[in-house]
Amino acid sequence: MTTTVLPSYEDAISRYEPVIGLETHVELGTATKMFCGCRTDFGAEPNTQVCPVCLALPGALPVANRAGIEATIRIGLALNCEIATWCRMARKNYFYPDMPKNFQTSQYDEPLCVDGYVDVEYEGKSYRIGIERVHLEEDTGKTLHVGGATGRIQGATESLVDYNRAGIPLVEIVTKPVPGLGALAPEIARAYVTELRDIIRSLGVSDVRMEQGSLRCDVNTSLNKPGEEWGTRTETKNVNSLRSVERAVRSEIIRQTSVLDEGGRIVQETRHFHEDRGDTSPGRSKETATDYRYFPEPDLVPIAPDPAWVAELKASLPERPSAKRARLSEEWGISAVDMQSVANAGAVELIEETIAAGASPAGARKWWMGELARRANETGVELAEVGATPAQVAALQKLVDEGKLNDKLARQVLEGVVAGEGDPAAVMAARGLEVVSDTGALTAAVDEAIAANPDIAAKIREGKVAAAGALVGAVMKATRGQADAKSVRELILQRLS
Ligand SMILES: [Zn+2]
């Protein structure tokens, strides 16, 4: 293979039009699996959450989990889909070592939900993404290749399989092809997955965490010259973060342009996205539906949701995340852009609860989007798991509002809260972090600083008040930062006037 110089993104997009499509898998957060009663806890010892049904032992028969069907219908309704009044599960036949049945129970030509849409906001404009289908299936197990350098099967000495995940309900959400986005295709792809994540999170049916694999995304990309037919698409797998969704589309547009420029042909195949390099490499050539020999699952009865039940589920859908963001940005007095960053940080509910616990919107947002977001980023945890609760953040802000803590001390108290030392008041007491408000003690510290710095004091007496900064610093140091700098400054000027 010869090394080619890749075109720039701007160059590629000036000559070709992308069409994208996204297939998203969401692992449902049901307590038990889709067709048996096994638990679904994440991180359990390998092969401890299995039974004859999900291991496909002879004679074992599946029974559908109503909660899985209900969650799928709710997702479909939230995505403005039509809900089938009658449909069936199907067997998708293929052999994979992490799939004990040698077929996946899925849906083929009779999905539970069809023909919906999601409106996605990007930089003040709205884009409608069509939803082709939302169907229910089951997850596979997990294979672990050991002994090699890369964790991949190449070079491995052994492969281990864990069936705990096999049979966990999975919902696949497939968009219609999305043409016409031009240069914004990567950004809109990311905005779509973000919106989808927020909608599903608001339904409470999945924790939708990309890093844990409960939200997984495959990105289809094709290119065509303006006015020509759509090109052959590739399907990029292993896209494990929102940022990667955007990078994967961009890198495929550049790669396909380079192939087409050289007179090459795009092969219909799956490709693997590499987080580290930001590009894709070829996987297997893509199967077509006929390769899977789909047929209706004979061991399960058809699913025929009662329209009255579906209407009930529709009426009880929660407020749409976009509507909620619009309402809250007004209530909190912040711009739509700031609201979007709050949503992206996963802080909407946390800030809401902090306000409900008594903090002002500005105070609540300051801690969650500042100190706590930084800490969550550094330690690689979700904001909700950073170690502080909304009630604690509200209590912290109250201590600041009452003048018992200044900003610097409040940060130290928060550090203690996050470290598990207790509520803010307890940390403040245990670490002795309260602002010194006792005027007697402050005056003594000021007088000491004046006595220790006669030159500076003389300057201030001569009217050079800018020199007071040095004395303020000395007092703050003497009080270990526990004085209110403004009062200290006033006191110094007063003593030297
Ligand atoms: Zn089981």
**3-state SS of 126-194?**
EEEEEEEEEEEEECCCEEEEECCCCCCCCCCCEEEEECCCCCCEEEEEEECCECCCHHHHHHHHHHHHH
Residue 318 domain-assigned (yes or no): no
Least confident of 121-125, 165-169, 230-234, 320-324: 121-125
Q: How far is the CA of 34 from the centre of ligand 1 (A)?
A: 9
pLDDT band at 149 (very low <50, low <70, confident <90, very high): confident
Residue 255 shares a structural domain with residue 382: no
What pLDDT score was predicted for residue 51? Answer: 97
Model's pTM, two decimal places? 0.79
What pLDDT score was predicted for residue 337? Answer: 85
Q: How far is the CA of 213 from the centre of ligand 1 (A)?
A: 20
Residue 177 shares a structural domain with residue 235: yes
Q: How far is the CA of 293 from the centre of ligand 1 (A)?
A: 25
Residue 238 has pLDDT above 80, yes or no: no
What pLDDT score was predicted for residue 289? Answer: 67
What pLDDT score was predicted for residue 101? Answer: 92
Q: How far is the CA of 313 from the centre of ligand 1 (A)?
A: 28
Domain-terminating residue out of 312, 347, 370: 312
Residue 58 shares a structural domain with residue 140: yes
Q: How far is the CA of 57 from the centre of ligand 1 (A)?
A: 10
Q: What is the mean pLDDT of residues 248-267?
A: 95
**In terms of Cα–Cα distance, which of 176, 163, 144, 139 is closest to 30?**
139
Q: How far is the CA of 49 from the centre of ligand 1 (A)?
A: 7
CATH of the domain at 447: 1.10.10
Beta strand 169-175 with 125-138 is: antiparallel
Q: What is the mean pLDDT of residues 141-167?
A: 90
Least confident of 49-53, 168-172, 376-380: 376-380
pLDDT digits over 461-485, tens only? Answer: 888 888 888 888 888 888 877 788 8
What pLDDT score was predicted for residue 135? Answer: 97
What pLDDT score was predicted for residue 2? Answer: 53
Q: How far is the CA of 151 from the centre of ligand 1 (A)?
A: 27
pLDDT digits over 408-429, tens only? Answer: 889 999 999 999 999 999 999 9
What pLDDT score was predicted for residue 493? Answer: 86
Q: How far is the CA of 296 from the centre of ligand 1 (A)?
A: 21
Q: How far is the CA of 105 from the centre of ligand 1 (A)?
A: 14
Residue 426 shares a structural domain with residue 447: no
Q: How far is the CA of 238 from the centre of ligand 1 (A)?
A: 27
Residue 239 has pLDDT above 60, yes or no: yes
Q: How far is the CA of 306 from the centre of ligand 1 (A)?
A: 28
Q: How far is the CA of 62 from the centre of ligand 1 (A)?
A: 9
Q: How far is the CA of 348 from the centre of ligand 1 (A)?
A: 36
Residue 325 domain-assigned (yes or no): no
Domain-terminating residue out of 312, 341, 368: 312
What pLDDT score was predicted for residue 287? Answer: 65
Q: How far is the CA of 156 from the centre of ligand 1 (A)?
A: 29
What pLDDT score was predicted for residue 478? Answer: 83
Q: How far is the CA of 207 from the centre of ligand 1 (A)?
A: 21
Alpha carbon distance 163, 143 (integer Å): 9
Q: How far is the CA of 25 from the centre of ligand 1 (A)?
A: 21
Residue 1 domain-assigned (yes or no): no
Residue 123 shares a structural domain with residue 215: yes
Residue 87 has pLDDT above 60, yes or no: yes
Q: How many domains does the chain have?
A: 3
Residue 364 shares a structural domain with residue 284: no
Amino acid at 259: V
Residue 165 has pLDDT above 90, yes or no: yes
Q: How far is the CA of 268 from the centre of ligand 1 (A)?
A: 36
Q: How far is the CA of 98 from the centre of ligand 1 (A)?
A: 14
Residue 4 has pLDDT above 80, yes or no: no
Contacts of 346 by beta carbon, 8 Å cutoff, 6+ apart: 382, 383, 384
What pLDDT score was predicted for residue 299? Answer: 95
Residue 136 shares a structural domain with residue 265: yes
Residue 469 domain-assigned (yes or no): yes
Task: Provide the phi-psi class of 89: left if phi over 0, else alpha when psi is between -120 and 50, else beta.
Answer: beta
**Which residues on adjacent β-strands are paired with residue 178?**
20
Residue 2 domain-assigned (yes or no): no
Residue 347 shares a structural domain with residue 308: no
Residue 231 has pLDDT above 60, yes or no: yes
pLDDT digits over 92-119, tens only? Answer: 999 888 999 999 999 999 999 999 999 9
pLDDT digits over 380-404, tens only? Answer: 787 888 999 999 999 999 999 988 8
Q: How far is the CA of 201 from the centre of ligand 1 (A)?
A: 26
Residue 1 has pLDDT above 70, yes or no: no
Amino acid at 169: P
Domain range for 361 is: 330-431
Residue 287 shares a structural domain with residue 354: no
Q: How far is the CA of 295 from the centre of ligand 1 (A)?
A: 23
Q: How far is the CA of 190 from the centre of ligand 1 (A)?
A: 35
Residue 413 shares a structural domain with residue 452: no
Q: Which range has the top average pLDDT, 74-78, 369-373, 380-384?
A: 74-78
Q: How far is the CA of 165 from the centre of ligand 1 (A)?
A: 10
Residue 418 domain-assigned (yes or no): yes
Q: How far is the CA of 288 from the centre of ligand 1 (A)?
A: 30
- Inter-CA distances, 242 with 97, 188, 192, Å: 29, 11, 10
Least confident of 28-37, 247-256, 297-306, 457-466: 457-466
Residue 3 domain-assigned (yes or no): no
Cβ count near 385 (within 10 Å): 9
Residue 394 shares a structural domain with residue 491: no
pLDDT band at 433 (very low <50, low <70, confident <90, very high): confident
Domain-terminating residue out of 431, 456, 488: 431
Cβ count near 268 (within 10 Å): 13
Q: How far is the CA of 36 from the centre of ligand 1 (A)?
A: 5
Q: How far is the CA of 377 from the centre of ligand 1 (A)?
A: 36
Residue 216 has pLDDT above 90, yes or no: yes
Residue 285 has pLDDT above 80, yes or no: no
| Max CA distance (Å), the chain | 98
What pLDDT score was predicted for residue 279? Answer: 87
Amino acid at 416: G
Residue 102 domain-assigned (yes or no): yes
Q: What is the mean pLDDT of residues 74-98?
A: 95
Q: How far is the CA of 309 from the centre of ligand 1 (A)?
A: 28
Q: How far is the CA of 40 from the centre of ligand 1 (A)?
A: 9
Instruction: Give me the percent of the chain exceeding a pLDDT of 70.
Output: 98
**Which residue has better confidence, 480 or 65?**
65
Average pLDDT, the chain: 91
Q: What is the mean pLDDT of residues 444-448?
A: 87
**Which residue has better confidence, 348 or 346?**
348
**Which residues on adjacent β-strands are paired with residue 106?**
90
What pLDDT score was predicted for residue 127? Answer: 95
Q: How far is the CA of 38 from the centre of ligand 1 (A)?
A: 4
Residue 335 shares a structural domain with residue 294: no
Q: How far is the CA of 106 from the centre of ligand 1 (A)?
A: 17
What pLDDT score was predicted for residue 76? Answer: 98
